[in-house]
Amino acid sequence: MARITPENKSETRAAIIKESMKLFNDFGYAKTNTKTIAQRCNIAEGTVFNYFATKDDILMAVFEDLSSRSYFTETPSSIHPLDKIIDIFMIPLRNLNRIPKQFVMDIMISAMKLSKKNNTLLHKLLALDMSYIKKAEEYMKVSLAFEQSEMTPQLLAEVFYSTVATEYLLYIFNETIPFVEFENTVRNKLRILMKPYHKDFCSSVQQG
């Protein structure tokens, strides 16, 4: 029997994620099973479970691969601090825009339906979202000023998330809204929300 190397494991895991994404897109998450995923990857179904405990875990890996990769390479230090904070939310969504809206809609609907029986998937998706809120909060602590306000980095990051989530739902469920319009709307709203707490803006107000 051929020895399974770390490189082989990495390639197999990547293949499972890649083929799963295609199947989820073509047939929907609910109608795709691990047996079909294994067949697409030319491996035994049991091998799939060596990498992912459940189909939900495969879905999470697909989402993480699409939304979380290349964050730091796509947000250079030269950009404005306000845009860097906004990009924490926008770059994952820009990556998700590489797949059809219908695929994202199917995943959202499947997650909500499954949550009635088992809310594990929904909790995992929310945990991924919470990681973006936490990262935005960390950037806000060093880029914005909250000394004379009831607003806090955590609260503003949560308001950001609510704003982005609302606009994203409107975008996903409306075929007439292009992604560029959605992104421009979000960026404008988030800049307005941040403006009173940006350090340069606060300094100019205090000096005036």
Q: What is the pLDDT of residues 32-69, one digit of tens each?
A: 999 999 999 999 999 999 999 988 889 878 877 776 55
Q: Does domain 6-53 have CATH number 1.10.10.60?
A: yes
Burial of residue 193 (CB within 10 Å: 0-12, 13-18, 19+) is middle
- Measure the CA dihedral 100/101/107/109, to 10°: -150
Question: Do residues 30 and 105 touch, judged by C-beta distance below 8 A?
Answer: no
Q: Which residues contact 167 (CB under 8 A, 6 or more apart)?
A: 182, 185, 186, 189
**Confidence at residue 54, expressed as pLDDT on a 0 to 100 scale:** 87
Band (26; pLDDT cuts 50, 70, 90): confident
* pLDDT score of 8 more than 80: yes
Q: Residue 121: which of 134, 135, 107, 131 has the closest Cα?
A: 107
**Confidence at residue 151, expressed as pLDDT on a 0 to 100 scale:** 92
Summary mean pLDDT of the chain: 82
41-45, 147-151, 168-172: which range is least confident on average?
147-151
**Confidence at residue 205, expressed as pLDDT on a 0 to 100 scale:** 38
**Confidence at residue 126, expressed as pLDDT on a 0 to 100 scale:** 80
**Confidence at residue 48, expressed as pLDDT on a 0 to 100 scale:** 96
Alpha carbon distance, N-terminus to C-terminus of the chain: 76
Question: Do residues 160 and 87 touch, judged by C-beta distance below 8 A?
Answer: no
**Confidence at residue 167, expressed as pLDDT on a 0 to 100 scale:** 97
* pLDDT score of 137 more than 90: yes
Band (73; pLDDT cuts 50, 70, 90): very low
* Model confidence pLDDT, tens digit, residues 176-208: 999 999 999 999 999 999 988 886 654 433 443
* 173 HSE (CA, 13 A, CB side): 9
Q: What are the extents of the domains in the chain?
A: 6-53, 68-207
Q: How far apart are CA 143 and CA 194, in angstroms?
A: 10
